[in-house]
Amino acid sequence: PSCRRYVAGGRCKSTARLEGKVVIITGANTGIGKATARDLAQRGKVIIACRDTAKAEAAASEIRAETGNQQVIVKKLDLADTKSIREFAETFLAEEKELHVLINNAGVMLCPYSKTADGFEMHLGVNHLGHFLLTFLLLECLKQSAPARIINVSSLAHHGGRIRFHDLHGEKCYNRGLAYCHSKLANVLFTRELARRLQGKFQRQMGFTANALHPGSVSSDLVRHSFLMTWLWKIFSFFLKTPCEGAQTTIYCAVAEELDSVTGQYFSDCQPAYVSPRGRDDETAKKLWNVSCELLGIQWD
């Protein structure tokens, strides 16, 4: 029915192959991440980076069986722990020579108030800071493998977010719905500032890009922390995208030939989409970058 087609949204039509190329997808053991991994495994080598390796192994063996591609590899990565992020990057760099696509897909949503191993508020820590550090650690490898792409899975929810520098970790005031929105705005601002910093002549020639996207409202277990949302998701499932439909824009950003030199953009339904005024604020983007570096104890110039 046409209503269902409308809900499904845009599709990635690119048949681009990724032979000899390496893709990392965080949180690819379920939902959109798994659907993205399944599609990209039909094109090239995929590394599934997940906290729960048992779940990830089950997903990977299913994908290997479906695609016939044995190069679907599971690596442990806990984005709520910088030690785990550093270990993952170290292992990856020791084992692989190149990295062509980094998809920062993993995320938490609507968590009750909690902190990561390093004392960051969970949404900000996992959705933004964890991926910020991971990208930093893999950046040289991406540069040397160019053309390369960095893809940050954000959300329409970024429209409801603001970066509350005076209370980044929600210690004074916490609302789990807003905490998710703030972290998704951070994804958009990170993408914007990263693209600006990669804009040198070298990057333009080499096609080294960073883009963000909104996957759509997808029927997944991301809402598991909220009984109300889980219930609503069940009732309105007809109006939600399947994980496969939700993965289309990520896949598009990863492979579409027409995006070879497109950077710093935000996509939805496989086309450029509207970014909130807060998501276009360069001053906030720069400040968030500096604060993120301070929190993580890194120098990223």
Task: Give the active site residue among 180, 252, 266, 274.
Answer: 180
For 56-83, letters b (16+ CB in 10 Å) and e give: beebbeebbeebebeebbbbebbbbbbe
Single out the residue of 21, 295, 24, 255 nearest to residue 139, CA to CA. 24
Single out the residue of 231, 269, 232, 276 nearest to residue 251, CA to CA. 269
Q: Which residue's structure tokens are 């005031």?
A: 173
Single out the residue of 146, 79, 87, 88 nearest to residue 106, CA to CA. 79
Told to judge if 180 belongs to the known catalytic residues of this protein, a careful annotator would answer: yes
Catalytic residues, which ones? 180
